[in-house]
Structure formats: structure tokens, C-alpha cells
Amino acid sequence: DAGITQSPRYKITETGRQVTLMCHQTWSHSYMFWYRQDLGHGLRLIYYSAAADITDKGEVPDGYVVSRSKTENFPLTLESATRSQTSVYFCASSEAGTANQPQHFGDGTRLSIL
Amino acid sequence: GNSVTQMEGPVTLSEEAFLTINCTYTATGYPSLFWYVQYPGEGLQLLLKATKADDKGSNKGFEATYRKETTSFHLEKGSVQVSDSAVYFCALYSSASKIIFGSGTRLSIRP
């Protein structure tokens, strides 16, 4: 089915471990985004990508790494997880940027770091 | 910089009540404005949008009007249903396809 899928849906890990969250979209959208959602903060942008091999920092990039070797995939890696990175992570995509294009969201990954 | 402020929740209403969720924004120029909805366990979905001043976005009985005089984009619905229970986010288009979201308002509807 066409859409945007995230995996895993749930993940528990320990501080200091590396963890990668996957995001895959089937629309061939140019733009992809990673957000984290925390109580009282709404959604905060971590990283975004305008096309394959083009990525840029968002509002809260520290502690995260992204790559985009293919248009359809945009993995997010926590190189050494910390408890403050416990959150719900959402991936989104949109067509080439004009103001009228909405972002389409995945169902999220709930990440707990012990 | 650009920002969005929306009313804090939670908001609890009875079925068939009138709904208003307030949203105001600060922005350079006149960016497109959005309302997104998040149902339990799901990602955000676009509910409606308005691209210029005085535009009214509407969908599923919800409406919002882009008011540049008051820099507002309040969400309204005349008669809410239990199925409208969700978290609602006001948002504005920033740049390079980025969107700035408000902190969200949780809405609960009692049968």
C-alpha cells in the first residue's frame, strides 16, 4: 500500500546504545522530516531532507544522525542514546516545497530509553 | 521568529456541543496556516488549511478562517461527536517545506 511507514512501532533500549528508527515512503516525495513529540512541547523538528543526499538540521538535532541515500528512505540514528531522548518520533514527507503542500505523517515510533 | 500559540487543553465537551479551539500566530508575511488532527495511536493528519488572508478552510464539519487583523486561525465545529476526540494542532508554513506546530490541544467528547 502507498504511504509512509515507520519501524519499529515500539522500542526499548538502554542508555549508551545505538538505535536506528526507519522511515519509508512510497510517494517519491522530495522532502522528508523527523520530529519528536513530547508533552508540553508539541512537535519539534530534528532533521529534514530536501532530496537524496541533502539533509539539514532542525530545531533539536543534537544527539541524532540522519542519512538519505535513497529518496524513499530516511533513517534516524541515535548514536549513544540518553534518557532525554525518550519520546515518540514521527517521520513525515511532502512533495517539492510550496506552501500549499501538506506533510504526511507515519504512525510514529515510541522509544523508551532506560 | 515564526511561532504558533494555541489554547491549552484538555478541553472536555458533551456530544453536540459547539467547539472553538483558539490559535494565534506570529509570522513574517502571510504564511499558509493548517490544522492537523492526531487520533490515539496515530500520526498527524491534515484537517484543513488556508493559504491567504480571509480564506476559510473546512473539512468534516470543522472550519477555520485566516484572520490577518487578529493573526488568528481559530478552529470551530458546530456540533461535535465522540469520534472527534483527538489532539488538534495549529500550524504554519515556515520555509523550505518546514511547518511550525503549536503545542496541541487535547479534545475529549462525552457521549
pLDDT (tens place) for every residue of chain B, 111 residues total: 889 999 888 999 999 999 999 999 999 888 899 999 999 988 999 999 999 999 999 999 999 999 999 999 999 999 999 999 999 999 998 776 788 899 999 999 999
The closest CB to that of A48, out of B46, B51, B98, belongs to: B98
The verdict on a CB contact (< 8 Å) between A41 and B45 is: no
Please name which of B81, B77, B78 lies closest in space to residue B111, comparing C-alpha atoms. Answer: B81
Please give the Cα distance from B37 to B35 (Å, whole number). Answer: 7
Q: 3-class secondary structure for A27-59?
A: CCCCEEEEEEEECCCEEEEEEEEEECCEEEECC
A81 vs chain B: nearest CA distance in angstroms?
23
Please name which of A60, A62, A34 lies closest in space to residue A48, comparing C-alpha atoms. Answer: A34
Give Cβ neighbours of residue A65 (< 8 Å, ≥ 6 apart).
A76, A77, A78, A79
B24 vs chain A: nearest CA distance in angstroms?
15
Q: Which residues of B touch A92 (CB under 8 A)?
A: 43-44
B32 vs chain A: nearest CA distance in angstroms?
6
The closest CB to that of A107, out of B34, B43, B46, belongs to: B43
Q: Please indicate if any CB of chain A lies within 8 Å of the CB of B49.
A: yes
- pLDDT tens-digit profile, chain A (114 residues): 569 999 999 999 999 999 999 999 999 899 999 999 998 778 999 999 999 999 999 989 999 999 999 999 999 999 999 999 999 999 999 987 666 678 899 999 999 999
What Å distances lie between residue B23 and A16, A30, A36, B18, CA to CA? 40, 30, 21, 16
The closest CB to that of A105, out of B43, B93, B103, belongs to: B43
The closest CB to that of A102, out of B41, B49, B89, belongs to: B49
Please give the Cα distance from A93 to A60 (Å, whole number). Answer: 18
The verdict on a CB contact (< 8 Å) between A102 and B96 is: no
**CB contact at 8 A, A35 and A23:** no
